[in-house]
Amino acid sequence: MTMDKRDADLELHHRTWAIDGDLYRCRYCQRGCLASKAGEKFIHAGDCTVKDTACDYPWMALAEMTAAVARPHDEVERQRLRAIIENYPNGDPLEFNAAVRKIQQ
């Protein structure tokens, strides 16, 4: 079974980031960013190995992810099904067929 996008996005995000009280910390360099500074670009340590690949606004990314959590399940599920259909012919044909059937209901 495919992992729910909301869960997958959070899991991926938190491979790099960790909330530590009022801070979002980079797991690699341990630098932190206050929630109140969410709109400022994150500053990693100079030798941080993910400084060029990690997202620049981890709080903003979290806010987008939790907005998806707050939306009604049906809407999120429809978005997931549409993504599977739009991805065709990539992906699992059985999953594609199931998505087409479900979205037509």
| Nearest CA among 45, 5, 46 for reference residue 26 | 45
**Range 33-72, binding Zn ion (CB under 5 A):** 44, 48
Is residue 29 close enough to count as binding Zn ion by CB under 5 A?
yes
Q: How many residues bind Zn ion (CB under 5 A)?
A: 5
Residues 17, 25, 26, 99: which binds Zn ion (CB under 5 A)? 26
Burial class from Cβ neighbours inside 10 Å (0-12, 13-18, 19+) for residue 28 reads middle
Nearer to Zn ion by C-beta: 48 or 81? 48
How far is it, in rounded angstroms, from Cα 47 to Cα 49? 6
Residue ranges in contact with Zn ion by CB under 5 A: 26, 28-29, 44, 48
